[in-house]
Structure formats: structure tokens, C-alpha cells
Amino acid sequence: MGPSQPDGNVRVIGRYALYGPLAAGGMATVHFGRLLGPVGFSRTVAIKRLHAQFAQDPEFVSMFLDEARLAARIRHPNVVPTLDVVATDGELFLVMDYVAGESLARLARTFADRGTRMPFRIASAIMAGVLHGLHAAHEAKDERGMALGIVHRDVSPQNVLVGTDGVAKILDFGVAKAAGRSQTTREGQIKGKLAYMPPEQLRGMPVTRGTDIYAAGVVLWELVTGQRLFSGDNEGVIVAKVLHGDVQSPSSVLAEKGARLTGDEVAALPRLERILFRALAATPEERFATAKEMAVELERAVPPATSSDVGEWVEVHAHAVLEQRAVRVAEIESGATDIPLEARPSGRMPTAVAVVANAENPTRIVSPSNPDITPPVTQPSSLSVVTGTSSIPAARPNANSWVFVLGIAVLALLVIGGGVAFRYSKPPPTVGAEPTASAPLGSGPSTSPSAPPTASTPSAVVVGVGVSPEPSASAPTPPHTGASTASTPPKKPPPFVPRPANTCNPPYTTDVNGIRHYKPGCI
């Protein structure tokens, strides 16, 4: 990626601000971008803009959308994540993470121009990361757990970014292929860069993960030697060399160039050559079974440099470009709030992976089942990839909160009612053998045995749960004496029995047998 150019006017697409170009490729131009989220949230991104001649080609549009769909399923730190896709005004924009770093192609070209090469430990760290990222892509699964069969098919230095954090990331799955996808390329069409294609791909045979392993082997060979593996004046010469499979050993190339190696590099070179020849085998069956297997062997043969060492190395060899970009990013981030409010996105945001532009409203997403909106589908990426128009509604009461409050109220009533029922489920207290007579609350003992009952236990229970009973017509309303008066029946005093006068001295009588019998009234 070269230095950016002046931006001119900032263009707002959906919820993103599009700035000046960052780099250009054969299919698209990469721009600086800025996510304009609600409540001031923002984030710097990279936005790939499909060239106009391809945006009108349904096949290339399909391929472009496949990049987003497939890359969103790959979860690995060595893969640049796809964040979003926006369709507007007949154009397509792919939103990706912004990586502060430089492409491996430009880094390698810097060494070639100087007539030097990359240290083995740096090359090992970069390519081991690339291989681990490829393995994650090869093993990616869909939502149902089925293997997607992703093959990158275009592994090259141009599609590898090395960040200032020392992490190598592979990007651009625009020519990737997933088994069983509905969108396919024209039969026999070759995509990618010829010098990195294995023989079976040039012959039009099915591609497998071995295709990416071969391409990774070519990239590693070029990093070790500092020159191209297959070069020629035209494409025919390059294809002939690839099909012939004439791979020169790195040791002979380095000897011809008079390269100076460290002691560790001299010791590691034979092991490194074995890895390269296996990766560059003519048939997929002779290569490593997986990209992870090759990565592990490479890390054993040449211990990789640490991430901090790789990051420092990138900053040293790409200092000028990185400084220019850092200044541009700072300008974008500080000026993001200067975008006019009318140009900022509203609560409705057009974001989709499989989108169709609407002529009347290009920023809306349409689908066959619903012309206006499709349900959002969360994807596992640093930001969710959705397939529909989302909105941010105003805050409103949650129905669940009302259910919770109602449940608490019902529970409180049940507890109170249960406690009162438990209290009155006990038998009323009695005095001696006297039966309890029903009487109005607060009334004294009944003086007439024929007086009808006017208050009962059930009415007292109803009062206990907060419902006032009707006043009795046969008895006066008692004064309020507190909760205990309403909830506890009054105790009836025992009847008065007058004692006979002067009959208890002595209090007993003696029969003829001398047995004392106490008088009933004197006990």
C-alpha cells in the first residue's frame, strides 16, 4: 500500500465516511474510512471500493459479496476481518479492519531494491502467521457446523499485511471459493497471479487447500532468497516454468548472490529447504496435508522472531509510509466530528452481505421475501455483519418490567392471605367446657339465648385481606380498636356461681366410715 492522496470531499455512504485512497488493486481501490456510530462512537476502517467496470458485472459483484460472506466466517488473528458491506448508487463497498502496517509485497520490494534479503527469523514469523490464518480459513464452518471448503486461491505478497504490532494478516478472499456456493465463476476462467499458482490450478483442475500451501511455499522461497521464483517476459513463459516444476534450491541462489548468512541461518537452511521442496511439490498429495502442519514444521526449523521484533522491523523498513499514514489517520479521527449533521447516518443503517440496490432508495436493503427489510443476522466478527436495515428506537418501557411488578404484587397478596388463613385455621380458644357463642365483634356476653349470631369467623378473614364487610343490622358497629380487635375473637368470662353463706366451715362432711367428702361450693 502506497501513501495516501489528498481526499477532496468526504463522501458519506450508509454509516461510513469515505476518504481518500489508501491503495489500488486490479479489482478495487482501498480507501480510508470512518465508522460514524450513534452517540459519538467512531472507528477508523479500510473500505474497499469495487471498480466501476466490475460493479456492473453480476459475476464480479457475486464474487465480491462472497468475499464478505466467507471472510465473516473466518475467526483468526491472522485474517483481516470483514466488518460490513454497503450497496449504494450502483456501487459496492467492503468494510474491513484498518491495519496499521505495510503489505508484504512492498516490504519484499524494499529488500530487492537494496540487493538484500529478509532475515530468516522474520520470514518464519510472517509466513507461520499466514499459514495459521489459511488453516483457519480451510477449517471454517457455516452456522450448521458444515465445512465451507474455503480456498483462498490468491495467496501472494500483495494479499499479506504485516502490522506494526508484528502480526501478519492475510486478506482479500475476493477470489475465494466455497464448495456448494450458488455463485460460480465462468468455466475455465483463471483468477489470481500466475507465478503463485500450482500446476493443477493452471490446468483447470479443482483447487484444494494444497493450492494455498503451494502458493505459501512460493512466497516463502522468495522471502528467503530475495528474488522471484518464476519470472518471465510474458505469461506463457511463467506458465511453462510452473508446469515444468524446475525449483532451484535456496542455498544455490544465495551462494550465487554472495549472500551473508548468520550461523543460525546456515544451520537452519537445510531444514528450511526440505520444507520448501515439500510445499512446492508438483502434486497436492506430496505436499503438507494442512497449512497448520507446514506452519509447525517451519517454526521448528527456524524459530520465529517475536511479535515485538517483527513490529520494530516493519517500522524501520517502512518508516516513511507509516508516518504519512499515521498523520492522515490522525487528521481523519480529529475531523470526523466536522461532518455535517445532515450527512451523518440516521438511526436506520443500510448494511448487508447479500444486498440488492434499490433504485428509489439506494441505501435500503431489499430481499425477495421482504422488499424493505430483512431480519438482522449477527456474524462473529469484530463488528456484527447484518443482513438488513437496523434502527435505534426511542427508549420505551419494557413489557417484562410490568410482568415483574405484577408478579411481586400477586406474591405479596398470597403471602398476606396465606398468613391470615393459617391464623384462622387454628381452633378458637375455650374456657372450661363452655362452648363458644357467636357474637358481634366487640360486644359483651349475650344475655338472651335466642339472639341470632351476627359475626362469624369467615367475615373476619375477609377483613384481614383488606375488604370491609357490610355492617350488621342486628348489632351496633364496634369502635375501631386496632388490628388485634378485628383479627382475634374476644374471650367469654366464666359464669358467676354464688356461694352459699356460712356452709364451708368446715368445708367437708364426714360419713359413717370416717371418710371426708368436700362440699362442692367450698372447693
Q: Return the closest-CA partner of residue 214 out of 226, 201, 204.
A: 201
The residue type found at 256 is E
The DSSP output letter for 491 is: P
Sheet (strand 101-103) strand order: 101-103, 160-163, 168-170
Q: Are 162 and 102 in contact (CB under 8 A)?
A: yes
Active site residue 309: no
Q: Return the closest-CA partner of residue 73 out of 166, 129, 167, 144.
A: 144
Alpha-carbon distance of 158 to 155, in angstroms, equals 8
Q: Write phi, then psi, for 168 (nearest 5 degrees).
A: -85, 135
C-alpha cell at 91: 456501487
C-alpha cell at 13: 455512504
What are the residues whose beta carbons fall under 8 Å from the beta carbon of 234, sequence distance 6 or more? none
Alpha-carbon distance of 105 to 100, in angstroms, equals 15
C-alpha cell at 158: 500483495
- Three-state SS letters, 34-66: EEECHHHCEEEEEEEEECHHHHCCHHHHHHHHH
What are the residues whose beta carbons fall under 8 Å from the beta carbon of 104, sequence distance 6 or more? 126, 157, 158, 160, 161, 162, 168, 219
Alpha-carbon distance of 172 to 154, in angstroms, equals 8
66, 154, 172, 212: the catalytic one is 154
Give the residue numbers annotated as catalytic, written as ranges.
154
